[in-house]
């Protein structure tokens, strides 16, 4: 803002926020989100990229270090590295696969979802491919998995997610191509807010302890909202109810996202523990209304910076993650399955400068 503070920070590490509560990346959305909010007094968005359980960090200590490295990157930025935000919004679809592209200063920010069909993890390799497709005519691209629809009556194939050989790969590719085919040049207004919804609802089992966040982009009068819950996916009927309510009462085109935090998971609470199992729309919507009103009230023209950095030698569970995680839950895991250098961050920062 005019005082040189960040209005919002969007972070997308190439890690999976699992495997479950208290282990590895299971603390990531809460810890990093809280860390950024407390340090910069801003709204933080923990984005879920194209990753799966193979990309789980092996240690919570890695999350502590990652937070410090993100802060070091942010602290190194100068106001001259921000530029006034301009752009537009465009959508593409193919079959059940949909892509929404927010074009901001040469960056394509592409959200993918198949909701109300199952929208589960996208393999990292496929994410790299989708990013290359999204780079058309852009200086950079980010792929976001909305992770916003799951029901256990779906087939095993659907619950498996998007992987090499999946029938949805080509459909997503075509949807992305359509979404990035047009650019906008409208001046952007932006507003954001966040709440500890978990605390406000007395600690429901289907919600993480991190912040839930909302932001609204205004592209020359055309508005798009991103509503983020700290949860591991959600029931499609809950998503539908929230979107219907927001469109009716606020006249905003909105998508509902989850962070895919596995802090809500344990041996007793597996992946079926999605938002909506214990939390109803009637309880969520009044809080959502407050978040949206706050964000709409603080909308203003903004400046943006986008960047990334690499963490070398970052250890993750690897291809045999499921078997390894089962062993870890029995406290017998002793080896690191896989070590990779990976790119963090694709993240972007919005300031009212």
What's the rounded Cα separation, in Å, for the pair 246 and 244? Answer: 6
pLDDT of residue 271: 86
pLDDT of residue 350: 65
Please state whether beta strands 186-195 and 43-46 pair in parallel, antiparallel, or not at all (unpaired).
unpaired
Does position 333 have pLDDT exceeding 60, yes or no? no
Question: Which of helix, strand or coil describes residue 14?
Answer: coil
On whether the CB atoms of residues 262 and 18 are closer than 8 A, the answer is: yes
DSSP string for residues in 311-350: EEEEEE--TTHHHHHHHHHTT---S--EEEEEEEEEEEEE
On whether the CB atoms of residues 17 and 48 are closer than 8 A, the answer is: yes
Does position 326 have pLDDT exceeding 80, yes or no? no
Does position 275 have pLDDT exceeding 90, yes or no? yes
pLDDT of residue 303: 93
pLDDT of residue 21: 79
Task: Give the HSE-up count for residue 194: Cα atoms under 13 Å, Cβ half-sphere.
Answer: 25
Does position 345 have pLDDT exceeding 90, yes or no? no
Banded pLDDT at 346 (limits 50, 70, 90): low
pLDDT of residue 337: 41
Distance set, CA 331 to CA 25, 27, 49, 75, 276 (Å): 17, 18, 29, 38, 31
pLDDT digits (tens, 9 = 90+) for 175-234: 999 999 998 899 999 999 999 999 999 999 999 999 999 999 999 999 999 999 999 999
pLDDT digits (tens, 9 = 90+) for 10-31: 999 999 998 877 777 889 999 9
Please state whether beta strands 43-46 and 6-13 pair in parallel, antiparallel, or not at all (unpaired).
parallel
Rounded to an integer, the average pLDDT of 133-160 is 95
**Worst-scoring range by mean pLDDT, 119-128, 256-265, 269-278, 320-329?**
320-329
pLDDT of residue 305: 95
What's this model's pTM, rounded to 2 decimal places?
0.91
Does position 320 have pLDDT exceeding 90, yes or no? no
Banded pLDDT at 336 (limits 50, 70, 90): very low
């Amino acid at each position: 803002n005019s005082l040189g503070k960040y209005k919002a920070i969007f972070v997308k590490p190439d890690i999976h926020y699992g495997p479950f509560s208290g282990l590895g990346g299971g603390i990531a959305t809460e810890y990093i989100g809280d860390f950024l909010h407390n340090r910069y007094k801003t709204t933080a968005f923990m984005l879920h990229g194209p990753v799966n359980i193979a990309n789980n960090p092996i240690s919570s200590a890695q999350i502590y270090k990652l937070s410090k490295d993100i802060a070091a990157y942010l602290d190194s930025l100068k106001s001259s590295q921000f530029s006034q935000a301009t752009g537009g919004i465009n959508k593409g679809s193919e079959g059940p696969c949909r892509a929404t592209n927010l074009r901001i200063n040469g960056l394509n920010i592409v959200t993918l979802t198949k909701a109300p069909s199952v929208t589960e993890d996208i393999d990292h390799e496929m994410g790299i491919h989708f990013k290359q497709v999204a780079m058309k005519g852009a200086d950079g691209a980010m792929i976001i998995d909305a992770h916003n629809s799951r029901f256990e009556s779906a087939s095993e194939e659907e619950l498996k997610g998007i992987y090499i050989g999946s029938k949805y790969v080509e459909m997503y590719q075509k949807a992305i191509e359509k979404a990035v085919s047009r650019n906008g040049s409208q001046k952007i207004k932006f507003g954001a807010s966040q709440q500890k919804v978990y605390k406000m609802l007395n600690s429901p089992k289907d919600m993480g302890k991190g912040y839930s966040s909302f932001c609204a982009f205004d592209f020359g009068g055309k508005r798009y909202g991103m509503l983020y819950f700290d949860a591991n996916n959600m029931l499609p009927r809950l998503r539908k109810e929230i979107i219907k309510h927001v469109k009716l009462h606020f006249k905003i085109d909105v998508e509902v996202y989850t962070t895919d935090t596995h802090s809500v998971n344990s041996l007793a609470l597996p992946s079926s523990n999605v938002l909506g199992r214990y939390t109803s729309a009637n309880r969520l919507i009044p809080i959502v209304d407050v978040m949206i009103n706050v964000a709409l009230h603080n909308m203003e023209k903004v400046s943006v910076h986008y960047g990334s950095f690499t963490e070398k030698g970052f250890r993750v569970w690897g291809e045999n993650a499921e078997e390894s995680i089962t062993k870890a839950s029995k406290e017998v895991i002793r080896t690191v399955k896989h070590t990779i250098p990976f790119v963090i961050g694709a993240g972007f920062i919005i300031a009212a400068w």
